[in-house]
Structure 1
Amino acid sequence: MLRHPAHCLSLGFGSGLSPVAPGTCGTLVGIPLYLMLRDLHLPYYLAVIGGFFLLGVYICGKTSITLGRADPGAIVWDEIVGYLCAMVQAPRGWVWIVVGFVLFRLFDILKPWPIGWLDQRIKGGLGIMLDDVMAAVFSLICLQLISYIL
């Protein structure tokens, strides 16, 4: 599977094949990507994320069809992009990288409304990507509020 570029990306360069917590392993792949992208001016950062999202709709849909499952846990490109979304305009420092990671994983795992609603109702590559982006929006709001309060 990893030989095909779409599958390699959607499986998070293999991190999604972890037998334990593949979503968490995939999100970890997002950290070095974030570190590479965080110094971009906001419009460029958002453009990259938008491109990654559109790419994700295609590659995640393609991989889910190949695997014969609607939203296999091995597909983690959505977690990678979700983490990048959660970290938009995040404060600098490792503490914030970890806080963003924890918040994103919590919202992605717990799936409060409307995240869970999206997860259940929108199928295909768009559905795979959209619930994680919504989890990222919740995480982003919480991260910004925490940084404002502190």
Structure 2
Amino acid sequence: MARLIATVGGVGYLRPAPGTWGSAVALPMAWLLHVLGGFPLLVIALIATFAKGWWATKEMTDGQSDHDPSEIVIDEVVGQWIALLPLSYAAWHRGLDILAMWPGWIAAFVLFRLFDIWKPLWIGKADRRGDALGVMLDDVIAGVFAAIGVLALAAFAHGVLM
């Protein structure tokens, strides 16, 4: 069960770039959660997936020298969902079709992958913890950075920052 959760049903075994595949599969999952229950359901799923992901990552890495094997991509799902939260909230709050904000989806994906790979500031610090919580937290923080970037780009695009 831990392997199924941590690899998101085997997506983590796709090559090349399993983290990117994990982020990509998170997009339709987030869309479905939003369509079924809006922003509240996405937040609930995010919290539950973080908890399950932390457990599954710990189970898969206990006793291993590699604390963050590339096939573990549940952390990318969590981080990508965080990056999409501003879009889900805006669509839910204003009664919009979330897919109408497609530029935000692209920004959320690209920014999350950028921060997850680059690992600046607290992202890298979380990654260096060397444990299952660090595996999850670096993507949580990358997702927060990406969400802030999505908000800034939306403000710029809609003339707020002009």
Q: Report the CA distance between 1:12 and its aligned residue.
A: 2.0
Supply the distance in 1 between the matched residues of 2:115 and 2:32 (Cα, whole angstroms).
24
Listed one character per residue, the Cα deviations across residues 89-134 of structure 1 (whole Å, up to 9, x for unaligned) are: 216333221211100000000000011011102x322111000000
Q: Does residue 1:26 correspond to 2:22, yes or no?
A: yes
Supply the distance in 1 between the matched residues of 2:128 and 2:63 (Cα, whole angstroms).
20
Dislocated runs of 4+, deviation >4 Å: none
Call closer, same or farther: CA 1:31–1:41 in 2, change over 3 Å.
closer
State which of 2, 6, 18 in structure 2 corresponds to 1:6.
Answer: 2
Supply the distance in 2 between the matched residues of 1:51 and 1:37 (Cα, whole angstroms).
13
CA RMSD after TM alignment: 1.6
Supply the distance in 1 between the matched residues of 2:52 and 2:19 (Cα, whole angstroms).
18
Question: 1:129-140, aligned counterparts within 5 Å?
Answer: 129-140=136-147
Equivalent residue for 2:110? Answer: 102
Q: Report the CA distance between 1:66 and its aligned residue.
A: 7.1
Supply the distance in 1 between the matched residues of 2:65 and 2:58 (Cα, whole angstroms).
10
Q: Report the CA distance between 1:16 and its aligned residue.
A: 1.0
Q: Which runs of 5+ in 2 are unaligned?
A: 91-97, 158-162
More off after superposition, 31-40 vs 105-114: 31-40
Supply the distance in 2 between the matched residues of 1:19 and 1:48 (Cα, whole angstroms).
27
Q: Does residue 1:147 correspond to 2:154, yes or no?
A: yes
Equivalent residue for 1:63? Answer: 60
More off after superposition, 51-60 vs 84-93: 84-93
Give the TM-score normalised by the residue count of structure 1: 0.89
Query: Number of residues paired by the alignment?
Result: 145
Supply the distance in 2 between the matched residues of 1:96 and 1:24 (Cα, whole angstroms).
17
The residue type paired with residue 119 of structure 2 is K
The residue type paired with residue 71 of structure 1 is D
Give the TM-score normalised by the residue count of structure 2: 0.82
Q: Does residue 1:89 correspond to 2:86, yes or no?
A: yes
Q: Report the CA distance between 1:8 and its aligned residue.
A: 1.2
Q: Report the CA distance between 1:88 and its aligned residue.
A: 0.4
State which of 97, 115, 125 in structure 1 corresponds to 2:123.
Answer: 115
